[in-house]
């Protein structure tokens, strides 16, 4: 049980960092707005991506391995894609309300997109999250699982403790010292 929690924590951090990189990439190279820290903490992580990824791992891992067919066509990837869109959109909507409640606003504005709800969620980003979720569940997650399997218990403990110290230091700096 301890090992599973440690693995989930490491996945959370990895996907938070990947999410931050994705956000910065969009901001700097796609939209050409210039750099800004896209997370709520000082460090290079968007925790909403970490939470979203963990939800996808927990909720969809078993579905991913099933072969759901209509006639001879495997529709599991289609069901996965739609499920990812729904889950990530709900996570983003809830995150926007939590951020608004705690800080007065949220970090994104989708009013420029068609089919948006209060600028909090929109069809275009939801589809991108669906594509990204497919890439992470079918490509990154198996690689990360293999990587963590190679770590000894001692190494896993060291990595987890180190990441915990860094994250707690960042939380203290961001919310108390800053």
- Tokens at 145, concatenated: 């699982």
* Distinct helix (H) and strand (E) counts, the chain: 6, 4
Q: Which residue has the tokens 């403790």?
A: 161
pTM of the model: 0.86
List, for the chain, all residue ranges whose pLDDT scores fall below the cut of 50: none
Q: Say which DSSP state 139 is in.
A: I
Q: What is the pLDDT of residues 84-123, one digit of tens each?
A: 999 999 999 999 999 899 888 887 899 999 999 999 999 9
Record the tokens describing residue 158, joined without a space.
């060291």
């Amino acid at each position: 049980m301890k090992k599973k929690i440690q693995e989930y924590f490491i996945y959370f951090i990895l996907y938070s960092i990947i999410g931050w990189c994705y956000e910065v990439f969009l901001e700097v190279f796609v939209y050409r707005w210039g750099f800004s820290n896209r997370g709520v903490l000082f460090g290079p992580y968007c925790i909403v991506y970490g939470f979203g990824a963990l939800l996808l791992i927990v909720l969809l891992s078993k579905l991913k391995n099933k072969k759901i067919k209509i006639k001879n066509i495997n529709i599991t990837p289609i069901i996965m894609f739609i499920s990812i869109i729904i889950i990530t959109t709900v996570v983003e909507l809830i995150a926007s309300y939590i951020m608004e409640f705690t800080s007065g606003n949220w970090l994104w504005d989708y009013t420029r997109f068609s089919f948006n709800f209060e600028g909090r969620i929109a069809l275009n980003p939801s589809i991108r999250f669906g594509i990204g979720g497919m890439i992470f569940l079918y490509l990154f997650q198996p690689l990360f699982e293999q990587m963590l399997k190679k770590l000894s218990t001692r190494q896993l403990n060291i990595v987890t403790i180190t990441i915990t110290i860094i994250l707690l230091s960042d939380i203290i700096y961001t919310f108390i010292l800053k």
